[in-house]
Amino acid sequence: MDVADILQVLFRWIHIVAGILWIGLLYWFNWVNVPLGAVLDGDVKKKIIPEMIPRSLYFFRFAALWTFVAGLLLLGLVFYHGGLMFEQGAEGWGLPGIVMLAVVFLFFPVYDALAKSSLGKNIRAFGAVGFVLIAAIVYAMIYWAGFSYRAYSIHIGVMFGMIMVMNVWMRIWPAQKKIIPALKEGTPPDAALVARTAQRSRHNTYLSVPLVWTMINSHTVVPGADSPLWLLGVVLVGWGGVTLIYGKSTKIKGM
C-alpha cells in the first residue's frame, strides 16, 4: 500500500460520511420538513423554523462542501492520476476529452439558465430536456472522447454533484438567509425566493438518486452494464422512484 492508496481510503471515508449527512438532510427537508410545514400554523412556524432550519442548513451546506472537496480529490487520484479515463486504443487526452471535461465542470450556468427560464416552471418538461442533454453528453463522452465505462459514469455523477453543490451554496443558502429572518419577524418572505429554493431542492433530490448509482458503478457486475443505455435507464428509474416517494411523503400523517 503506497501513499496514494492510503489517501484514497481516507478521501473515500470522508466523502461517504459527508455524502450521507448531506443527502440524508436533503431527503429530510423534502420528504419530512415540507409536508410538516403544510400542517403547522403560522405561530408555531415562527418559533420553530428560525431555530431548527439554520441548524439543519449548517450541516447541510458544509456536508455538501466536504462531499464535493473529497470527491474532487478522489477524482484526481483515482481517475486522472490513476489513468482510468480512456478505453484501450482511444486517443487519450485530445481535444474531445478536454471539451467533455469542460462540459462537466462548466455545466452549472447552462442548467441555471434553463431552470430560471419558463421551462424551469414545468418539472416534467424540464426533466425531458435535461434527459436529452444527459443522453447527448453520455454519447459524446463514449463515442467522441473515448471515455471508459467508469470514467463516463463518474463524470455524469460529478456533473450532477456540481449542480447540486452549487444549488446549495449559490441558490438555496443565500435565499434562506433572507427567508428565515422574514419568517421570524412574521413578514411574508419573498415568494420568488421561496419558489427558487423549493425548485432547486427538488432538482437536487431528483439528481441524487442517479448520482449514487454513478458513484458505486465500478462495483456493478450485471451483464451489459457498460452499455450507455443502462445509465440512461437508471436516470429514468431513479427519477420515477423519487416521484413516488414525493407522493408518499404527502400522505404520511402525524399521530
Q: Which residues bind ligand HEM (CB under 6 A)?
A: 12, 15-16, 19-20, 22-23, 67-68, 71-72, 74-75, 78, 150, 154, 157-158, 161, 165, 211-212, 215-216, 218-219
Q: Return the number of the residue (64 or 179) whose C-beta is nearest ligand HEM.
A: 64
Give min distance, CB of 242 to ligand HEM, in A.
Answer: 14
Residue 112 beta carbon to ligand HEM: minimum distance, rounded to whole angstroms: 16
Q: Under DSSP, is residue 82 helix (H, G, I), strand (E, B) or coil?
A: coil
C-alpha to C-alpha distance for 154 and 214, rounded to whole angstroms? 5
CB contact at 8 A, 60 and 165 = no
Name which of 183 and 208 has its Cβ closer to ligand HEM: 208
- In the block, residue with C-alpha cell 443505455: 229
Work out how close the CB of 179 gets to ligand HEM at its nearest, in angstroms, rounded to a whole number: 24
Q: Half-sphere exposure (CA, 13 Å, Cβ side) for 151?
A: 27
Minimum Å distance from CB 202 to ligand HEM?
16
CB of 208 to ligand HEM, least distance (A): 6
Angle made by CA atoms 232, 236, 239, in degrees to the nearest 5? 135
Whose Cβ is closer to ligand HEM: residue 197's or residue 204's? Answer: 204
Please give the grid coordinates belonging to residue 4. Answer: 496514494
- Alpha helices (H) in 3-122, listed in sequence order: 3-28, 34-39, 42-74, 95-105, 108-116
**Whole-number Cα distances in Å, 197 to 96, 173, 255:** 35, 8, 29
Min dist. Cβ of residue 23 to ligand HEM (A): 5
Nearer to ligand HEM among residue 33 and residue 67 (C-beta): 67
CA distance 81 to 9: 15
Q: How far is CA 139 from CA 129, 136, 146, 156, in A?
A: 16, 5, 10, 11
Q: How far is the CB of 236 from ligand HEM (least distance, A)?
A: 20
**Other beta carbons less than 10 A from residue 173's beta carbon:** 16
Decide if 145 contacts 100 (C-beta within 8 A). Answer: yes
Specify the residue, 78 or 172, whose C-beta has the smaller distance to ligand HEM. 78
Looking at beta carbons only, is 157 or 238 nearer to ligand HEM?
157
* Nearest to ligand HEM of 49, 75 (CB atom): 75
